[in-house]
Amino acid sequence: MISYVSEDAEPSILDTPSTLHDPLWYLDTGASHHFTHDNSNFTTKALYTGFDMVKINNNSGLPIENISSVVYTTPHTNTKFSLNNLLHVHAISKYLLIVFKVCKR
């Protein structure tokens, strides 16, 4: 299994320097997993020991560092929202959510 980031995503989304990480979550119709660059608020975390990488638009691969679960509380409604199998990829600059998994809730 290789994880993909949407072909619609602009390369600059993933190639931004780490100091410019965006704190917002973005819906992605082409992503195969939820992605984050920040592992500071993981509920659970397991070191990723596989060989898969996240393929981006220029066909290069980014290493997956951890697989996790996380529980967020939405700011306006205080509703708890859990994400399972969230991939920690330090080299990306955006938080990405898979549209079909979020809409299935």
Domain ranges of the chain: 3-103
The pLDDT of residue 101 = 61
Sheet of strand 95-98, all strands in order from the earlier edge strand to the far edge: 25-28, 95-98, 35-36, 80-88, 66-73, 44-47
The pLDDT of residue 8 = 46
Q: In this predicted model, what pLDDT tens digit does every residue of 1-26 receive, in sequence order?
A: 445 554 444 444 444 444 466 778 78
Question: What whole-number distance in Å separates Cα of residue 43 and Cα of residue 50?
Answer: 21
pLDDT < 70 stretches in the chain: 1-21, 100-105
